[in-house]
Amino acid sequence: MTVVQRFLDQFGQNFSKKKQKKVTSLSRSSGRLVSTALYGGGRTSDPEIQVIATLLREFRDIELYAFKLKPNKVILKAKTQDGYPVLIHPQYRIPKPMRLNGKNAKRQFYWYVDLAVEIYDKRDESVVIGIWAMEYDGCAEHFTESGIKSDRFRDMVINTETDIVNVHITKEHWASYQNEYTTNMLRFIERRTRDATFMSLSDLKLRDVNLMSSPELEFVNENGTLRATSWEFTVPEENT
């Protein structure tokens, strides 16, 4: 059994009949791999899945990169239309700076965005040249005064620490301006890849997106510490 077959079997084994129908329906437009990845990852609503699936159709050659269970996490790999390698992360983890912890709290906390697309340099596929991130504001708390203030502060800090700009999408605006959001993602990729052609790899490696202290492929214990994780890769891990 291949890694992809194991992924499809293990991610889908706990799908209810209702969810299985949704996976089958989305598979018609996005393929079995993407639909299983989005519905099997947890913490994702149906409208959010539809938005992410639509955005992912802008990429080609989507494949499985890695996955793990308990909790279920998946990373997909693909290429932009111009051939730049990307990794696609549903529920992307970003370290919250320790300085923002409450008094005497020494645990490492994390923020999550609903989707992150890491764009890599063609010359060296270990070098990130930009990360486009998206948050689907489907919960009512996003629209309360405290929720708005919290999201704005979080996004500002994330940008300060990582140079990631997090785009917020609402149901209403997606219905009316879907093309604007898609264009935003594509223009971001276009600008970052264009800029990268004028930069050396050594300079690109010094960008904040390449210096994050907690890569997504590390596993976080309940107390916030990191340990080796049981990610299963579609290629040997030493080559990733």
221 Cβ partners below 8 Å, 6+ apart? 227
Strand order in the sheet with 110-120: 165-169, 128-136, 110-120, 85-95, 73-79, 60-68, 232-233
Can you read off the two tokens belonging to residue 48? 């959010």
Inter-residue contact 115 to 89 (CB < 8 Å): yes
State residue 103's pLDDT score: 74
Distance CA 43, CA 219 (A): 18
pLDDT for the residue 158? 95
Per-domain boundaries in the chain: 3-239
What the block records as the tokens of 189 is: 């990729």
HEC sequence for the chain: CCHHHHHHHHHHCCCCHHHHHHHHHHHHHHHHHHHHHHHHCCCCCHHHHHHHHHHHCCCEEEEEEEEECCCCEEEEEEECCCCCEEEEEEEEEEECCHHHCCCCCCCCCEEEEEEEEEEECCCCCCCEEEEEEEEECCCHHHHCHHHHHHHHHHHHHHHHHHCCEEEEECHHHHHHHHHHHHHHHHHHHHHHHHHHCCCCHHHHCCCHHHCCCCCCCCEECCCCCEECCCCEECCCHHHC
The answer to whether the peptide bond before residue 71 is cis (omega within 30 degrees of 0) is yes
Which two tokens mark 133? 């991130």
Confidence (pLDDT) at 237: 47
Q: Tell me the pLDDT of the chain (240 aa) as tens digits.
A: 899 999 999 998 889 999 999 999 999 999 999 999 999 987 778 999 999 999 999 999 999 999 988 888 999 999 999 999 999 999 999 989 988 987 767 788 889 999 999 999 999 999 999 999 999 986 656 557 777 898 999 999 999 999 999 999 999 999 999 999 999 999 999 999 999 999 999 999 999 888 876 566 665 555 555 555 577 888 654 444
pLDDT value of position 217: 66
What whole-number distance in Å separates Cα of residue 173 and Cα of residue 138? Answer: 12
Contact 37, 90 (CB under 8 A): yes
Closest C-alpha to 129, from 24, 16, 205: 205
